[in-house]
């Protein structure tokens, strides 16, 4: 049974892909530029699927790992109140979507974005929270390692955020 799972992983999901998307801005320079002057970020982690949670995907553990990485990199992590009061309400948003396939194999998609309050040019009375920077990755895992595999993907993407944040905000 384990060899079948491994074969499915190799044939369908390896290598996993992490790509930087530019669907929310004109180019990567614009995405990175949208971080300039941001003093810190709040963090929002989506709820995880109950089946994935039962197999070890832990939302609180992901939140703690993301917060620790940002702090280690010198990026201030805002409380909810600080995020609400910050100019643009910058929020690092993490979403992990999972599908459990027959044969006990998960596929998952991880999305990390910087959401900020933006104003429409055509009507400046309209302000919305919108992604201004984002990365997306897909992967696969067996249930026993789903939590650690998804966390690794999230932290790879958070590192990309940290790199871009520091490029936009050199000290």
- Structural domain count, the chain: 1
State the pLDDT at residue 11. Answer: 42
β-strand 91-101 against 40-45: which pairing, if any?
Answer: parallel
Q: How far is CA 76 from CA 27, 79, 83, 131, in A?
A: 26, 10, 11, 19
Termini Cα distance of the chain = 53
Q: Which domain holds residue 139?
A: 2-10+17-168
State the pLDDT at residue 28. Answer: 59
Spatial contact of 115 and 91, defined as CB atoms under 8 Å apart: yes
State the pLDDT at residue 5. Answer: 52
pLDDT per residue rounded down to tens, the chain (171 residues): 555 555 454 444 444 433 334 333 445 555 788 999 999 999 999 999 999 999 999 999 999 999 999 999 999 999 999 999 999 999 999 999 999 999 889 999 999 999 999 999 999 999 999 999 999 999 999 999 999 999 999 999 999 999 999 999 998
- The reported pTM is 0.83
Please tell me the distance from the alpha carbon of residue 99 to that of residue 105, in angstroms, as a whole number: 8
């Amino acid at each position: 049974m384990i060899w079948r799972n491994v074969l499915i992983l190799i044939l369908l999901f390896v290598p996993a892909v992490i790509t930087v998307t530019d669907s929310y801005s004109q180019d990567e320079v614009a995405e990175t530029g949208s971080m300039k002057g941001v003093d810190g970020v709040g963090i929002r982690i989506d709820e995880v699927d109950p089946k994935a949670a039962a197999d070890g995907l832990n939302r609180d553990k992901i939140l703690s790992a993301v917060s620790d990485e940002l702090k280690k990199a010198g990026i201030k992590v805002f409380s909810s109140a600080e995020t609400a009061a910050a100019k643009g309400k910058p929020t690092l948003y993490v979403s992990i979507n999972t599908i459990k396939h027959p044969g006990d194999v998960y596929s998952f998609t991880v999305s990390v974005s910087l959401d900020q309050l933006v104003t429409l040019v055509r009507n400046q009375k309209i302000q919305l929270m919108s992604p201004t920077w984002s990365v997306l990755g897909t992967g696969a895992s067996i249930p026993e390692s789903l939590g650690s595999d998804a966390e690794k993907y999230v932290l790879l993407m958070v590192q990309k955020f940290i790199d871009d944040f520091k490029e936009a905000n050199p000290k």
